[in-house]
Amino acid sequence: MDSSSIEDAVSKCLSRYCIDGVVVKKLDCTKLRYMSKAISCSGVYVFSGNNTVYYVGQSSNLYRRLVNEHCSASIGSSEGVVRFLMYLLDRVCSSDEVFREVDVKKREAIVKSIIKSFINDLTIYVGYCRSRSLKKYELIDVEKCIKRILKPLLNS
């Protein structure tokens, strides 16, 4: 799926609640780390890469969710990271030889490394209202709208 289709879907779904305008930014994990003030607000996000939309999520604090959970691959901290883990399980299993020879902590490090590498190669589209915070029910509604349009691979 191309960039403009994703941006259009995010804008369309947010526009119901964003009276003063919608902001959509195309980022990656590296760029996100330098944007704490700009995106410490409520909004939605879309992970995309290789013409595939992988995951759509929402948060009351985009920076915290994306940088501290998704981009750092904190296993178990968010549903999205767990879904990426399940998707990438083939890569983990293909490391079976290495995997069996190490302890649990090293296995976790291998898994985190695989997830982090995958996520760092993705494009993240972040969308939020220009001048207001979205309420929880609004975030959920916007997330559902985007999922209906984009049909992400890892959201059921």
Query: Is 36 within a domain?
Result: yes
Q: What is the pLDDT of residues 96-124, one digit of tens each?
A: 666 777 787 887 788 888 888 899 999 99
- Asked whether the predicted pLDDT for residue 141 surpasses 90, the reply is yes
- ∠ CA 16-22-27, nearest 5°, is 130
How many folded domains does the chain comprise? 1
What's residue 95's pLDDT?
64
Query: Domain limits at 121?
Result: 3-150
Query: Is 155 within a domain?
Result: no
User: In this structure, are residues 55 and 123 in contact, taking their beta carbons and an 8 Å threshold?
Assistant: no
- Asked whether the predicted pLDDT for residue 77 surpasses 70, the reply is no
Query: Is 18 within a domain?
Result: yes
Query: Is 156 within a domain?
Result: no
